[in-house]
Structure 1
Amino acid sequence: MTSPIFALADEYITSYARLDPAFAGSAGIKGDFGVATDYGPDAEAERARLYRETLTRLNALESTGPADDLARLHMAERLQVFVDRHDAGEWRRALKVPYGMLQNMVSYIDLAPRETENDWRLNAARMRAIPEMLATWRQTMNAGIDAGETVALRQALEGAKQARRNAESRVFDKHLKAYGDGSQAADLRGAAEAAYAAFASAAEYLEQTYAPHAAPNDGVGEERYLLAARSTLGAVLDPHDAYAWAWEELHRIEEEMEAEAERILPGAGLTDVIAHLDATEAVETSEEYLAWLQAKHRGALEALDGVHFDIDPQLMNLDVQLVHGSSAGSAYYTGPSEDLSRPGRTWWPVADRERFRTWAELTTVFHEGVPGHHLQIGQSKVAGDGISRFAKVFGSVSGHAEGWALYAERLSDDLGWFTEPGTRLGMLKGSALRAARVVIDVGWHLDLPLPAAEAKRHGDRWNFDVALDVLTTRGRIAEHRAHPEIVRYAGWPAQAICYKLGERAWVAARDEAKAAAGADFDLKAWHTAALNLGPIGLDNLASVLRGK
């Protein structure tokens, strides 16, 4: 496409990359944008000016057809959210543990290319940029202190732990080891040491300077929460409806889990069945775990291609990485670079585990890999000129992406892929976790009472301990993931709801199309049309798909 709207999308990406080189590097955007992002107040204001100016220019352009209509719809919705969040002062709260700034800086290095000596010089430059970037980030956090707009105390203290862990676990040493004793070894070691010192200094800052000013309450309140939900869902949320629906959904899933457990070990009960599977359906070493993950990713790609999806050959390369020393509690995905020279990757935190419960993690392979994030995000990169550059590299909507990934788990069940012992129970357990996330996230941030029957079991009002209890006993999350999950909900309001509410939107859109087409409904064609749209907010998803 060469329309004015698509040209504006191209221009925006290039302009934003200049204002955020770390984002450009992590996203794999080609160009010489430098290596250090300025996260200070003036730079935040400059990025906000870009949002406003682009939105004004977008609104003045005329559409030349359906592709333009879609590009305008998505860009306008995203840019308006960016403007509204900046105006609300959310930029001053630049910390969301365990993801956000501190994790992004680690990913910025992890995603760097390492094929040539020039690539290794780039690695060193990126690591040397970390002290500078953290210094400007402190300026923004200090602006939050001055304005009385700070993150919660728990986030500050957990952020300090995360920063210190980055330093003490020496998160970049794996790259130094990979390089060896070449001509740049000393420079790389010096750059890494500077980064570690900066992380340690950030931890001290959060504990000693920031924490005394941090907000006492974990919850953000309804006004901030609804704005956050617009950002993560691309939709206007009715939080009370979502809260009630999620409790009902959790009860439904729990009943199905009990029935599935009965099929595995009749009469044993769900808790004993889970213990049995933990003891019997696991691998013992990280090497075995990586081999198992790689085999499952490859098997899913081969089973889907040409049958339920037409997978572009460029997406058949999907990398799998284990992550040691990470503070992230769960697996995650990073998409291909803009030019596809860097493949899509799934990342699997090891933490302190010595055994890996494969029965519970197969469903996550389908979520993070295929038919989940890799197909959805990867397809947007290979969809050609029907999707704007904004949508391809910048415009992700968490509710759209995570909703699709959870829909992918459900689809995998429909396809009969959970045949190994306990794996379907693992899928249901994951779905229960996502329903528990909604009740925790909405209830905690809005300080809603628990339903009477639930209050008897867990407590009358939400707090960290009640959230942890619901997550572990109802979401049945793995022990190593529980604490960082709750910390994540506190620091990233309305993100945890994206999975279940996004899945609900995707299923509703598919069922609407199925009802309209009747016997002529083609699931493969519907999947193709849906993924070729690229990202879109949930408020617009059904109407746009209806037009296809």
Structure 2
Amino acid sequence: MTSPIFALADEYITAYARLHPMFAGSAGIKGDFGVATDFGPEAVAERAALVSATLARLEALESTGPADDLARLHMAERLRVEADMHAAGEWRRALRVPYGLLQNLVSYVELAPRSTEGDWRLNASRMRAIPEMLATWRQTMNAGIEAGETVALLQVTEGVKQARRSAEARVFDKHLKAYGDGPQAADLREAAEVAYAAFESAAKYLEQTYAPHARESDGVGEERYLLNARSTLGAALDPHEAYAWAWDELHRIEDEMAAEAAKVLPDAGLAEVIAHLDATEAVDTSGEYLSWLTEKHQGALAALNGVHFDIDPRLMNLDVQLVHGSSAGSAYYSGPSEDLSRPGRTWWPVADRERFRTWAELTTVFHEGVPGHHLQIGQTKVAGEGLSRFAKVFGSVSGHAEGWALYAERLSDELGWFTEPGTRLGMLKGSALRAARVVIDIGWHLDLPLPAAEAKIHGDRWNFDVALDVLQNRGRIASHRAYPEIVRYAGWPGQAICYKLGERAWTAARAEAQAAAGSAFDLKAWHTRALNLGPVGLDNLASVLRG
């Protein structure tokens, strides 16, 4: 499609890629945009100016039809909240642990191709660019110090650990080993050493320069929280309604978990059932874990294709990777490159585990792979001319994406896929975690009181320890994930709520469509329409699905 709105979307992506080469490389955008992104204040301002100018041009263009209407709706919503986030000074708080720049720099190298000598030169260039990028990032962090707009001390101390871990774990050495003794071996080794030194330097900066200026409070307050939630949800949030709803939802899921646990071990408590499953439904080596993950991903693709979804053949290639030395507590997904030459990938942190609980992780396979993130995000890349380039490579909305992935877990339950012992309990346990995330994230950042009955169990007011207690004992999270999860909520306000509130929006939209169509409702057709829409903010989801 070549309408002015689509042309502007294409122009914006190219212009943004020039201003943010790391984004271009990570997203797999073809073109010579350089290697290093400038994260300093002036460059941040230049990218913000591009956002504002593009938004003004977009508002002046006329739509030529439904595809234009959708492209304008989504692009305008994303650019407005981006502009508002910049105006509020959120850019000065450029530290988000365990996700954020420190993790993204590692991923930037991880996502580089490694087939040709030219690819390996790119690997070396990306590693060599890390010191420059971290140096400009420090300028922005210093601007935050000068403005009195800093991140919480918790994020700083955890950022020190994360940066230092990347250096000490020598996260790029596995690629040097894979390359071997070729002509670029010395250059690659030197580039890796430069990157490790830069991570150590970043750790020292946070520890010695930034930490004395960090704020003590972990919570960001209601004004900042609502802005961040609007960014992650694509919707205005009523935090008090969502907080009360999530407590009720947690109680409902806990009742369902108790009933499901009784099917595994009658007359045993939930903790006993979980311990039993941990002992009996697990694998013992990372190699077995990778084989199990790969088998389940491929089985889901085969079972869905042509039955509940029409999966583009180009999306049948889904890569599964284990991640060693990562501070991310949970699995994650990276989408295909723009030209689909790089496949979609699911990434599974190993941490310090020696046993891998398959009963609890099958539901995450469906969340990260199919019918979850890979099917949804991958579909935007193969949707053809119906979606703008902005929607395909830039416009993801966490509430839309994570809501779909959690809906995908429930859909897998509807399809009867949780047949192995304990796996349906694992799905419910994951849903309880997502409900617990909502009450923790909203309650902690807004300093809301816990309901009276909950206060007797966990404490009157939210703090790190109360949040950790709720996550472990009510969200039933695996021990290796609990601490980094709480760190994540503190550094990324409004993101943890996206899963359950996004699922609520998706299930409500499907229920509305079923009620309207009655016996004529076609679930496969509804899924096709939903995925072909591309990313949409939750405030607009139901109306867009109605057409």
TM range (shorter): over 0.9
Q: Kindly tell me the number of residue pairs found equivalent between the two proteins.
A: 547
Give deviations 1:353-380, integer Å, cap 9, x for gaps: 0000000000000000000000000000
Give deviations 1:369-415, integer Å, cap 9, x for gaps: 00000000000000000000000000000000000000000000000
2:533 corresponds in structure 1 to 533
Q: Distance in 2 between matches of 1:414 and 1:245?
A: 23
Q: Distance in 2 between matches of 1:399 and 1:374?
A: 16
Q: Secondary structure at the match of 2:429?
A: helix
Instruction: State TM-score, norm by structure 1.
Output: 1.00
1:512 corresponds in structure 2 to 512
2:216 corresponds in structure 1 to 216
Matching of residue 373 in structure 1 with residue 370 in structure 2: no
Q: Given residue 377 of structure 1, which amino acid in structure 2 is its aligned partner?
A: I
2:56 corresponds in structure 1 to 56
Q: Given residue 69 of structure 1, which amino acid in structure 2 is its aligned partner?
A: D
Q: Given residue 21 of structure 2, which amino acid in structure 1 is its aligned partner?
A: P
Matching of residue 464 in structure 1 with residue 464 in structure 2: yes
2:180 corresponds in structure 1 to 180
Q: Secondary structure at the match of 2:282?
A: coil
Q: CA RMSD in A?
A: 0.3
1:206 corresponds in structure 2 to 206
Q: Distance in 1 between matches of 2:427 and 2:460?
A: 30
1:97 corresponds in structure 2 to 97
Q: Given residue 137 of structure 2, which amino acid in structure 1 is its aligned partner?
A: W
Give deviations 1:248-268, integer Å, cap 9, x for gaps: 000000000000001111001
Q: Given residue 397 of structure 1, which amino acid in structure 2 is its aligned partner?
A: V
2:423 corresponds in structure 1 to 423
Q: Given residue 521 of structure 1, which amino acid in structure 2 is its aligned partner?
A: F
Matching of residue 476 in structure 1 with residue 476 in structure 2: yes
2:24 corresponds in structure 1 to 24
Give deviations 1:458-479, integer Å, cap 9, x for gaps: 0000000000000000001000
2:47 corresponds in structure 1 to 47
1:113 corresponds in structure 2 to 113
Q: Distance in 1 between matches of 2:399 and 2:179?
A: 39
Deviation of residue 120 (structure 1)?
0.2
Give deviations 1:390-445, integer Å, cap 9, x for gaps: 00000000000000000000000000000000000000000000000000000000
1:443 corresponds in structure 2 to 443
Q: Given residue 242 of structure 1, which amino acid in structure 2 is its aligned partner?
A: A
Deviation of residue 269 (structure 1)?
1.3
1:384 corresponds in structure 2 to 384
Deviation of residue 214 (structure 1)?
0.4
Runs of 4+ in 1 over 2 A off after TM superposition: none
Q: Distance in 2 between matches of 1:33 and 1:66?
A: 33
Deviation of residue 218 (structure 1)?
0.2
Q: Secondary structure at the match of 1:346?
A: strand
1:283 corresponds in structure 2 to 283
| Alignment of structure 1 residues 114-133 onto 2, 5 Å | 114-133=114-133
Q: Distance in 1 between matches of 2:115 and 2:8?
A: 33
Deviation of residue 113 (structure 1)?
0.4
Q: Distance in 2 between matches of 1:482 and 1:330?
A: 9
Q: Secondary structure at the match of 1:327?
A: coil
Q: Secondary structure at the match of 2:356?
A: coil
Q: Distance in 2 between matches of 1:476 and 1:207?
A: 33
1:15 corresponds in structure 2 to 15
1:499 corresponds in structure 2 to 499
Q: Distance in 1 between matches of 2:101 and 2:221?
A: 23
Q: Distance in 2 between matches of 1:255 and 1:126?
A: 50
Q: Given residue 2 of structure 1, which amino acid in structure 2 is its aligned partner?
A: T
Matching of residue 168 in structure 1 with residue 171 in structure 2: no
Deviation of residue 343 (structure 1)?
0.1
Q: Distance in 1 between matches of 2:77 and 2:230?
A: 9
Q: Distance in 1 between matches of 2:472 and 2:270?
A: 14
Matching of residue 351 in structure 1 with residue 326 in structure 2: no
Query: Taking every aligned residue pair, what percent have the same amino acid on both sides?
Result: 85
Deviation of residue 231 (structure 1)?
0.3
Q: Distance in 1 between matches of 2:482 and 2:209?
A: 28
Instruction: State TM-score, norm by structure 2.
Output: 1.00
Unaligned runs of 5+ in 2: none
